[in-house]
Amino acid sequence: MDIRGISVVSVQVNDMERARHFYEHVLGLGEPHVYRDDWAEYDLPGTNFALYRSPSRATPTQLPASGGQRFCFEVGDIAAAHKELTKAGVDIHFGPKEEHGYHLLEFEDIDGNAIRLIQYDT
């Protein structure tokens, strides 16, 4: 597998407006470069940082591992990574699926923590 680095670190929040105010004005992250009602993503040197709102209608596989943090490893070929993970018997939550300019795959580590792989469209 061709892991290129951590692409996004995200933190689960309950109130997106309050969280955005804190991160944008108290910590000085400025405006997010991607924003939806359940996601705000900020450019930082070396990686991106995101806030995501707790899903009220989430299925168990959409809920984060304890602590509410997630991260994505950037890969060059998400289809090949999916094939490797499936062959190894890894529990795949979803994907690869096409999102907003990228492809995403989520799976579980041996402790049940959600890990994501991301491949950006070029």
Whether residue 69 contacts residue 12, with contact meaning beta carbons closer than 8 Å, is answered with yes
Q: What is the pLDDT of residues 56-86, one digit of tens each?
A: 645 444 554 455 667 788 999 999 999 999 9
Q: How many domains does the chain have?
A: 1
Give the strand pairing for 92-98 and 69-75. unpaired
What is the model's pTM? 0.62
**Residue 111 is part of a domain; what is its CATH number?**
3.10.180.10
Domain hosting residue 10, numbered range: 3-120
Q: What is the pLDDT of residues 93-119, one digit of tens each?
A: 999 999 889 999 998 877 677 889 999
